[in-house]
Amino acid sequence: MAALIGYEEALWALYFIIPAYSSNSLPTIFKGGPPIDGGRLFIDGRRVFGPTKTVRGFLGGLIGGSLFGLLESALLGWGLFPFALLVSAGALLGDLFGSFVKRRLGLPPGFPAPLLDQLDFVLGGLALSCPLYGLPLGSIAILLAITPPIHLAANYLAHRAGLKDRPW
């Protein structure tokens, strides 16, 4: 697939996704603590995000994703750490948005929402980073195509390792 869209686009897709994937997965390890919504209810009477979105998870994901981006920048010599920070923050905000949507639909935390669960963090990362750094359309296409199966496989492995209650 990379040959069809070009080496540079494939490289940008990989550079983009490492901080986003890590910031999206690390909250599973840093779970617990006070919920990010403070237990508040939205105007529909449901929790804003729910009990599984915690301050510790958000900060752990932001710091961890940014550190992965810093390491990536150092290894590749690109010096785009601010990009990694934006992608990490965007991925976490995208995940919070996905949780917000699921609560509005009356879905409980952990209930599957195909494609929303797999793409909310990628779309959040794109929304926050692309206005400043841009990303080739081929890179975006790669990310949208590969993320759902990778996300499902990672969740299955995290479930098998005892890090997640559900395999999705």
Model confidence over 55-80: pLDDT tens digits? 999 999 999 999 999 998 888 877 77
pLDDT class of 5 with cuts at 50, 70, 90: low
Greater confidence (77 vs 154) lies with 154
Contacts of 76 (CB under 8 A, 6+ apart): 15
What percentage of the chain reaches a pLDDT higher than 90? 67
Mean pLDDT of 35-54: 96
pLDDT class of 4 with cuts at 50, 70, 90: low
**Terminal-to-terminal C-alpha distance of the chain:** 26
Digit-coded pLDDT (tens) for 22-34: 999 999 889 889 9
Residue 77 CA from chain centroid, whole number: 24
Contacts of 15 (CB under 8 A, 6+ apart): 72, 76, 78, 80, 83
Can you tell me whether residue 35 is helix, strand or coil?
strand
Residue 125 has pLDDT above 90, yes or no: yes
Contacts of 107 (CB under 8 A, 6+ apart): 113
